[in-house]
Amino acid sequence: MKTRALILTCSALVFLLAGCGQPPAPNAEPTAAEKAELAVKNALAAATAKTKEVAREVRDLAAEKIVEWHLTPEEIKAELERTGRVVRSKANAAVAKSGEVIDNARVVAVIKSKLVGDQQLSAREIGVEAKQGTVTLTGTVGSAELIGQTVSLALDTEGVTEVVSLLTVSPAP
């Protein structure tokens, strides 16, 4: 009797499990899990597309600032040869309101986070100091273009009125 009950139980399990690996019928309504998976895939695709669009816009704006602030590789090289540093000030820098103190640590943190977000620049290789709106950059980068890019990132930070770049171009390996 126990053997018969065991055989019946095993047979029932076989019949139940037989349909588990089968694809749904072509006209079947998607399951909640399939709907959720599709929604996640669509949301991920939309977010990826939006991220790429925003990255293009940021890159275009950065390119405009580099030209506007005379930070092209040729201008950087000429200034480095002439003075050994690159200095830029904002023409229409907002002056701190009376009683408002520029938070140097916040300025440094914002610039460092911008450096981390840029794949061509290394936050570890670039030192950032801030004092009352003047930011000093030190370290090495791979090209004069990257010096311009770094100065642009720093100058385009709220609270920064001047950037002094003591960055140098590392020799080619």
Stretch 83-111: mean pLDDT: 73
Q: Label residue 162 by pLDDT band (50, 70, 90).
A: very high
Amino acid identity of 76?
I
Secondary structure of the chain: what % helix, strand, coil (to 5)?
55, 15, 35
pLDDT at 54: 75
pLDDT at 57: 78
Q: Any idea what DSSP says for residue 154?
A: H
d(CA 152, CA 166): 14
> Above 90 in pLDDT, residue 52?
no
> Above 90 in pLDDT, residue 6?
no
pLDDT tens by residue, 120-135: 887 788 999 999 889 9
pLDDT at 154: 93
Lowest-pLDDT choice from 6-20, 27-41, 96-110: 6-20
Structure-model confidence comparison of residues 93 and 20, the more confident one:
20
> Above 50 in pLDDT, residue 93?
no
d(CA 127, CA 147): 13
Highest mean pLDDT: which of 13-22, 68-77, 110-119, 159-168?
159-168
